[in-house]
Amino acid sequence: MASSTAAAAAVTSLLPPPVGAERPVPQGRLLFRASRAGSRPLRLNPARHHGLSPAPRAAKAVEAGKADPLNVMIAGAPASGKGTQCELIKAKYGLVHISAGDLLRAEIATGTDNGKQAKEFMEKGQLVPDEIVVNMVKGRLLQPDAQEKGWLLDGYPRSYSQAMALETLGIRPDIFILLDVPDELLVERVVGRRLDPETGKIYHLKYSPPENEEIASRLTQRFDDTEEK
């Protein structure tokens, strides 16, 4: 899939340079890179004095060293499972999930300056310029919740120019995750995928069929869920 290859190439410049013995560690089909140099891992240290008798249980305390927020980028072809993995990562690490597509639609709906500019291009059938999307992403990443909790940037950047724009702004992830799925499996997932327009739930005719005929009758297929796309 060209989209996943482009995304992987785009983020190469965003990965932290290897330091000392830090090496990428393969985990199944994903590639996890070691934490950036200088980050502070969470440590739990019992508050006790060496050489003295242990303090009473009521007086014991556990001190937690504050860890830097984790910043993650994830990419993959359509139907590679980004949505599922993002939900799992968000639930485990408490990161703020940011999807560039959702962000673009939200800014258009609320009528922000960036949203108005993006809408003009979309109404003409043109792609939204990188500068506009990068400004949206930058603004969202700088909001207090993302700064405090860390962020999970979903499906962005998608091109070298977008990656370099983020690089210019000093925006880099601690970890980049590429979901590498064989093309034949991607095609099978895509062509069988269906959407319930009332609930927004995603079904698959083979792997996750609708619960009843009523739901099945209203399912729709996205225009880009085709083998060609």
Query: Where are the chain's structural domains?
Result: 71-181, 183-228
For the four alpha carbons of 8, 9, 15 and 20, in that order, the dihedral sign comes to positive
Compute the radius of gyration of the chain from its Cα atoms: 22
pLDDT in tens, 182-229: 999 999 988 898 989 888 888 888 888 999 999 999 999 887 788 877
pLDDT confidence of residue 45: 38
CB 100 within 8 A of CB 154: yes
Structural contact between residues 135 and 114, judged by C-beta atoms closer than 8 angstroms = yes
Q: Quote the CA–CA distance of 75 and 64 in Å, as a whole number.
A: 32
What sections of 29-170 are H helices per DSSP?
82-93, 100-110, 113-123, 130-141, 144-149, 160-168
* CB 18, CB 165: distance < 8 Å: no
From the candidate CATH numbers 3.40.309.10, 1.10.15.40, 3.40.50.300, 3.40.30.10, the one assigned to the domain spanning 71-181: 3.40.50.300
Res 155: pLDDT:
83
At residue 100's C-alpha, the angle toward residues 120 and 173, to 5°, is 140
- pLDDT digits 0-9 by tens, 139-166: 899 999 999 999 999 988 888 888 898 8
Q: Let me know if 7 is exposed, middle or buried by CB neighbors in 10 A (0-12, 13-18, 19+).
A: buried
